[in-house]
Amino acid sequence: MKTKKQKELIDSFLRTLDDEDKSVYRDIIVYLSELGYNPKKERSHISFKQSRHNKQIAKIGIRNKKELSHFFALRFSACNDYSQKFAEVVRTNIEKYPSKTPGCIDNTCEYCAGEPDTHIYSYTYPDGEKKSHCGASALEIPNICADDSNEIKQLIKEEHEYLLKYEAKR
């Protein structure tokens, strides 16, 4: 973390986790920090953005303070090679939010840079039908654990490289 305030923000979140979850979240947060992503409190969650492009790559938070239901969301729309767990996250979001089709495909959105198929989430169903979801947002990854850590960091790395190439302020 760059500042004492950022460290305190992260520490206050990590204190709410059990040891196993704390280790997983800390590993991911340290990696985000190494890439220059700074934590910032936003309403009920902490978002991670980098000053060169100011796009959110991840967010963490507590959904229900009484039950301490934690969540982790990741923007990985520039990534194509990921496990079934992440493919299911994409499918779930496509079905849960059918109106979040990518506007960049029909030129009704100019939020993201680059060709649309380089930054949208897409899922191909068993019958061959392919559906897409806006790639500008982070998708919640349920039940992250130590086994997911390396894949999450790889997805962060790929998304980070995309954001620097297409979204960084020149």
- What gap in Å lies between CA 147 and CA 99, rounded to an integer? 32
Give me the mean pLDDT over the 117-136 stretch: 90
Q: Summarize the confidence of residues 20-29 as an average pLDDT.
A: 97
> What's the CA gap between 80 and 125, in Å, rounded?
15
pTM score, two decimals? 0.92
Sorted by sequence, the CB contacts under 8 Å of residue 27 that are 6+ apart come out as 149, 153
Average pLDDT, the chain: 91
pLDDT, tens digit, for every residue of 60-94?
A: 999 876 677 899 999 999 998 999 999 999 999 99
Instruction: Give residue 38's pLDDT band: very low, low, confident or very high (50, 70, 90).
Output: very high
Cα→Cα distances 112→76, 79, 85, Å: 13, 15, 25
Length of the chain: 170
- Evaluate whether 89 touches 140 at the Cβ level (below 8 Å): yes
Q: What is the pLDDT of residue 114?
A: 65
